[in-house]
């Protein structure tokens, strides 16, 4: 627990420095994107290492990593706005999210696509699903086509809403957890921890919105709306985290890596964002357009 706490504080310090120093040179969005893309591609690499250890799965190769890098960098630097915010792509990502949710019903069965085309599966699971965060990062002025770039802060809000669910789950679930949510997948997760995670996610999201709309003076959500909108993301982050646990169990691994003390690898860090990313993109696109008209 202590190592996890120190790693969490260290990671948020790195994120804060990237945004602050990048802002001094007017490259905060680009610097934050490079950090995000690096984490996603490292997570994809770790996923392929897990997949190679799952019995009956073909070797993944390097094609999926190249495709993932091309997608992320292309969307951020080259793609037109209509492609970044394409509802068709977002609904396709949500459809893959539904596949991940259904997979939790049979955690011992390896998906057929993963067994036969692991490179494609890893591409869909990580760069494709998390590319929605790139679209969010390019949002401006709380809307798609306005002037003030605040998309980076919306990405940070998504991360706060998601990752503080895990923190709340640990703080409440470890001492008070009695009713297990999925003992065959992740014995440590409990319904009590889920409740604590939802509460801390809402409180942390409200505090972050206050920071953005108050001291930072950004065009952002008011705190109570940030708290309410965080709840569905917090709820989705739990099965998103469980999906990675399924792959680790099938591969016979405890963590995806050992680069982050107390947390594991990059995949262990971003796993809860996989399903919440597309959901956040859909949620924000409709909410911000509605807020723009009202």
Whole-number pLDDT of residue 148: 52
Q: How many CA atoms lie within 13 A of 237 on its CB side?
A: 30
- What pLDDT does residue 251 have? 93
The dihedral region occupied by 218, where left means phi > 0, alpha psi between -120 and 50, and beta the remainder, is: beta
291 has pLDDT over 70: no
Q: Are the C-beta atoms of residues 132 and 90 closer than 8 Å to each other?
A: yes
In this prediction, residues 277-290 reach a mean pLDDT of 83
Structure confidence at residue 269 (pLDDT)? 92
Percentage of residues of the chain with pLDDT beyond 90? 55
At residue 264, does pLDDT exceed 80? no
> Distance between CA 214 and CA 202 in Å, rounded?
18
Q: pTM for this one?
A: 0.90
pLDDT at 164 over 90: yes
The answer, yes or no, to whether residue 290 has pLDDT greater than 50, is yes
Mean of all residue pLDDT scores within the chain: 86
Whole-number Cα distances in Å, 86 to 91, 186, 245, 280: 9, 35, 30, 14
pLDDT of 99 > 70? The answer is yes
Residue with the larger pLDDT of the pair 288 and 229: 229
Q: What does the alpha-carbon distance between residue 58 and residue 252 come to, in Å, rounded to a whole number?
A: 17
* Mean pLDDT across 42-66: 92
pLDDT band at 190 (very low <50, low <70, confident <90, very high): very high
């Amino acid at each position: 627990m202590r190592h996890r706490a120190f790693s969490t504080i260290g990671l948020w310090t790195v994120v804060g420095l990237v945004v602050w120093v990048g802002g001094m040179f007017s490259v905060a969005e680009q610097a934050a994107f490079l950090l995000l893309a690096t984490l996603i591609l490292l997570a994809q690499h770790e996923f392929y290492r897990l997949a190679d250890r799952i019995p009956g799965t073909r070797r993944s190769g390097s094609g999926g990593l190249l495709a993932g890098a091309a997608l992320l960098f292309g969307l951020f630097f080259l793609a037109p706005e209509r492609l970044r915010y394409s509802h068709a792509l977002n609904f396709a990502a949500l459809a893959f999210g539904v596949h991940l949710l259904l997979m939790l019903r049979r955690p011992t069965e390896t998906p057929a696509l993963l067994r036969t085309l692991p490179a494609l599966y890893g591409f869909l699971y990580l760069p494709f699903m998390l590319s929605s965060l790139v679209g969010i990062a390019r949002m401006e002025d709380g809307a798609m086509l306005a002037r003030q770039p605040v998309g980076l802060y919306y990405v940070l809000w998504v991360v706060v809403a998601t990752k503080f669910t895990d923190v709340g789950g640990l703080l409440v679930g470890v001492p008070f957890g009695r009713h297990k949510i999925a003992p065959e997948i992740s014995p440590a997760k409990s319904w009590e921890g889920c409740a604590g995670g939802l509460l801390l996610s809402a409180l942390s999201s409200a505090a972050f919105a206050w920071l953005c709309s108050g001291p930072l003076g950004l065009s952002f959500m008011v705190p109570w709306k940030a708290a309410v909108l965080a709840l569905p993301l917090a709820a989705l982050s739990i099965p998103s985290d469980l999906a990675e646990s399924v792959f680790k169990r099938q591969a016979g691994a405890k963590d995806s890596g050992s680069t982050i003390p107390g947390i594991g690898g990059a995949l262990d860090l971003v796993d809860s964002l996989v399903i919440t990313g597309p959901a956040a993109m859909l949620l924000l696109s409709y909410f911000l357009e509605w807020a723009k008209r009202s």
